[in-house]
Amino acid sequence: MLTINIKNDFSAYPGLRHCNLSDNSGEHFYHELLNKKFKEAYEKNDRLTVILDGTDGYAPSFIDEAFGNLIYDYSLDIVKKYLIIISTEEPIWIQALEKDTYPKWEERRKGGMNPIVTMEHEPWFRFVNGSIEQNQWEKPRN
Protein backbone atom coordinates (compact mmCIF):
# COMPACT_ATOMS: atom_id res chain seq x y z
CA MET A 1 0.00 0.00 0.00
CA LEU A 2 1.28 3.48 -0.88
CA THR A 3 1.50 5.98 1.93
CA ILE A 4 2.14 9.67 2.40
CA ASN A 5 2.87 10.73 5.94
CA ILE A 6 2.60 14.50 5.74
CA LYS A 7 4.82 15.09 8.76
CA ASN A 8 7.63 12.85 7.49
CA ASP A 9 7.27 13.21 3.74
CA PHE A 10 6.30 16.86 3.44
CA SER A 11 6.44 19.09 6.50
CA ALA A 12 5.63 19.09 10.20
CA TYR A 13 4.45 22.67 9.74
CA PRO A 14 1.92 22.81 6.90
CA GLY A 15 1.01 26.30 5.76
CA LEU A 16 -1.97 27.99 4.13
CA ARG A 17 -3.78 27.52 0.81
CA HIS A 18 -1.49 28.88 -1.89
CA CYS A 19 2.24 29.03 -2.50
CA ASN A 20 2.21 32.83 -2.65
CA LEU A 21 0.75 33.02 0.87
CA SER A 22 3.02 30.71 2.82
CA ASP A 23 5.66 28.02 2.67
CA ASN A 24 4.47 24.40 2.69
CA SER A 25 1.06 25.34 1.29
CA GLY A 26 -1.74 23.02 0.25
CA GLU A 27 -1.02 23.90 -3.38
CA HIS A 28 2.64 22.99 -2.92
CA PHE A 29 1.82 19.70 -1.19
CA TYR A 30 -0.56 18.75 -3.98
CA HIS A 31 1.85 19.44 -6.81
CA GLU A 32 4.93 18.17 -5.01
CA LEU A 33 3.51 14.90 -3.71
CA LEU A 34 -0.18 14.11 -3.71
CA ASN A 35 -0.90 14.32 -7.45
CA LYS A 36 2.01 12.02 -8.35
CA LYS A 37 1.49 9.47 -5.59
CA PHE A 38 -2.19 9.24 -6.36
CA LYS A 39 -1.46 8.58 -10.02
CA GLU A 40 0.88 5.77 -8.93
CA ALA A 41 -1.84 4.27 -6.74
CA TYR A 42 -4.37 4.47 -9.56
CA GLU A 43 -2.05 2.78 -12.05
CA LYS A 44 -1.15 0.00 -9.60
CA ASN A 45 -4.81 -0.41 -8.71
CA ASP A 46 -3.70 0.16 -5.13
CA ARG A 47 -4.90 2.58 -2.48
CA LEU A 48 -3.02 5.65 -1.32
CA THR A 49 -3.09 6.30 2.42
CA VAL A 50 -2.48 9.86 3.54
CA ILE A 51 -1.65 10.29 7.22
CA LEU A 52 -2.51 13.71 8.59
CA ASP A 53 -1.43 13.00 12.18
CA GLY A 54 1.75 14.26 13.77
CA THR A 55 2.04 17.73 12.26
CA ASP A 56 1.80 21.01 14.15
CA GLY A 57 -1.76 21.50 12.92
CA TYR A 58 -3.54 22.50 9.72
CA ALA A 59 -5.35 25.49 8.39
CA PRO A 60 -8.64 24.35 6.81
CA SER A 61 -7.52 26.06 3.59
CA PHE A 62 -4.47 23.76 3.32
CA ILE A 63 -6.64 20.66 3.50
CA ASP A 64 -9.22 22.08 1.13
CA GLU A 65 -6.70 23.11 -1.51
CA ALA A 66 -4.69 19.88 -1.43
CA PHE A 67 -7.54 17.39 -1.56
CA GLY A 68 -9.82 19.65 -3.57
CA ASN A 69 -7.29 19.73 -6.40
CA LEU A 70 -7.18 15.95 -6.27
CA ILE A 71 -10.94 15.83 -6.81
CA TYR A 72 -10.64 18.32 -9.64
CA ASP A 73 -7.98 16.30 -11.45
CA TYR A 74 -9.26 12.77 -10.83
CA SER A 75 -13.02 13.11 -9.99
CA LEU A 76 -14.86 12.25 -6.81
CA ASP A 77 -15.57 8.62 -7.74
CA ILE A 78 -11.93 7.79 -8.42
CA VAL A 79 -10.64 9.61 -5.34
CA LYS A 80 -13.12 7.80 -3.11
CA LYS A 81 -12.02 4.48 -4.56
CA TYR A 82 -8.27 4.97 -4.26
CA LEU A 83 -7.74 7.30 -1.31
CA ILE A 84 -7.70 6.59 2.42
CA ILE A 85 -7.17 9.43 4.87
CA ILE A 86 -6.05 8.77 8.41
CA SER A 87 -6.62 11.49 10.96
CA THR A 88 -6.91 9.99 14.41
CA GLU A 89 -5.80 13.15 16.21
CA GLU A 90 -8.37 15.34 14.50
CA PRO A 91 -11.08 13.20 12.89
CA ILE A 92 -12.82 16.46 12.08
CA TRP A 93 -10.72 16.78 8.90
CA ILE A 94 -12.26 13.67 7.41
CA GLN A 95 -15.75 15.00 8.10
CA ALA A 96 -14.82 18.39 6.64
CA LEU A 97 -13.48 16.77 3.48
CA GLU A 98 -16.50 14.57 2.95
CA LYS A 99 -19.08 17.20 3.80
CA ASP A 100 -17.50 20.27 2.31
CA THR A 101 -14.38 19.92 0.15
CA TYR A 102 -15.29 16.88 -1.94
CA PRO A 103 -18.78 18.01 -3.09
CA LYS A 104 -17.61 21.60 -3.62
CA TRP A 105 -14.65 20.64 -5.79
CA GLU A 106 -16.63 18.02 -7.69
CA GLU A 107 -19.10 20.77 -8.58
CA ARG A 108 -16.20 22.94 -9.56
CA ARG A 109 -14.77 20.18 -11.77
CA LYS A 110 -18.10 19.60 -13.49
CA GLY A 111 -18.55 23.32 -13.94
CA GLY A 112 -15.06 23.67 -15.41
CA MET A 113 -14.03 26.30 -12.89
CA ASN A 114 -10.26 25.90 -13.05
CA PRO A 115 -8.13 25.68 -9.91
CA ILE A 116 -5.84 28.59 -9.17
CA VAL A 117 -2.09 28.11 -9.15
CA THR A 118 0.16 30.82 -7.78
CA MET A 119 3.48 29.53 -9.07
CA GLU A 120 4.72 27.49 -11.99
CA HIS A 121 4.45 23.75 -11.39
CA GLU A 122 5.91 20.87 -13.33
CA PRO A 123 3.33 19.20 -15.59
CA TRP A 124 0.94 17.18 -13.46
CA PHE A 125 -1.57 14.42 -14.00
CA ARG A 126 -5.27 14.68 -14.72
CA PHE A 127 -7.86 12.06 -15.59
CA VAL A 128 -9.30 13.07 -18.95
CA ASN A 129 -11.74 11.03 -21.06
CA GLY A 130 -10.94 7.74 -19.37
CA SER A 131 -7.17 8.04 -19.20
CA ILE A 132 -4.50 9.93 -17.32
CA GLU A 133 -2.78 12.77 -19.15
CA GLN A 134 0.13 14.90 -18.05
CA ASN A 135 0.22 18.59 -18.75
CA GLN A 136 0.79 21.97 -17.21
CA TRP A 137 -2.92 22.45 -16.93
CA GLU A 138 -2.87 25.85 -15.28
CA LYS A 139 -0.49 28.77 -15.13
CA PRO A 140 -0.25 31.48 -12.53
CA ARG A 141 -2.42 34.46 -13.28
CA ASN A 142 -0.72 37.83 -13.20
Partner 1 sequence: MGETKELICILSSSDWIQVSAILVNVGLTIWIVIVLQNKLTNRRSLKDYVIEEIKGFRQEYRIFFNNLCSNKAQSQTVLSWFKLMNIQITDLMEIVDKQYNIDKNTLAPFQNDLRKLITENEDFIKCFKHTHIKFSAVSQSSIIKFQQQNYHLFNKMIVLINKSK
Q: Which residues bind partner 1 (CB under 8 A)?
A: 13-16, 21-23, 56-61, 89-92, 96
Rounded Cα gap, residues 55 and 77, in angstroms? 28
Q: How far is the CB of 8 from partner 1 (least distance, A)?
A: 17
Main-chain phi, psi angles of 107, to 5 degrees: -60, -45
Q: Which is nearer to partner 1, 16 or 117 (CB)?
A: 16
* Residue 98 DSSP one-character state: I
Question: Smallest distance, Å, CB 88 to partner 1?
Answer: 10
- Least distance in angstroms from the C-beta of 136 to partner 1: 26
Closest of 141, 116, 133 to residue 74, by C-alpha: 133
Minimum CB distance to partner 1 smaller for 21 or for 84: 21
Question: What are the two backbone dihedrals, phi and then psi, of residue 124, each rounded to the nearest 5 degrees?
Answer: -125, 175
CA distance 47 to 61: 24
**Nearest distance from residue 64's CB to partner 1, in Å?**
10
* Residue whose CB is less far from partner 1, 17 or 31: 17
Looking at the Cβ atoms of 30 and 42, the one nearer to partner 1 is: 30
| 87 touches 7 (CB < 8 A) | no
